[in-house]
Amino acid sequence: MTHKRNRFPRVIISDAVVFDWVLLIGFVVLAVFAVNYNARARSIPMALGILGTVMVSFQLIVDMFPPLRRKLGFVVESGLMADQKEESPTETDNVNSAEAGNYGGNHGKGRTEAIQEWVKILRLIIWIAAFIVLLGVTHYLIAVGLFVVLVTRIEAGESWIRSIVLAVSVNIGFFILFNLILNAQL
- 100 in the same domain as 12: yes
Residues 134, 64, single domain; the answer is: no
Global pTM reads: 0.49
Least confident stretch, 19-33, 39-53, 113-127: 39-53
Tell me: the pLDDT tens digits for 27-55? 899 888 888 888 777 778 888 888 989 98
Cα(164)–Cα(148) distance, integer angstroms: 8
5 shares its domain with 72? yes
- CA-CA distance, 10 to 17, in Å (whole number)? 13
Looking at residue 108, its pLDDT comes to 54
- Name the pLDDT band for 88 (thresholds 50, 70, 90): very low
Residue whose C-alpha is closest to residue 103's, from 126, 82, 85: 85
Residues 27 and 98 in one domain: yes
Percent with pLDDT over 70 in the chain: 75
Report whether pLDDT(168) > 90. yes
Q: What's the structural domain count of the chain? A: 2
Mean pLDDT highest for which of 13-22, 84-93, 141-150? Answer: 141-150
For residues 9 and 52, membership in a common domain is answered with yes
Identify whether residues 96 and 134 lie together within a single domain. no
Contact assessment for residue 31 and residue 49, using Cβ atoms and an 8 Å cutoff: yes
Average pLDDT over the chain reads 77
- Looking at the fold, whether 114 and 151 belong to one and the same domain comes out as yes
Shared domain check, 175 and 100: no
| Shared-domain flag, residues 6 and 69 | yes
Q: Does residue 86 sit in the same domain as residue 149?
A: no
100 & 21 share domain: yes
Q: Are residues 96 and 137 in the same domain?
A: no
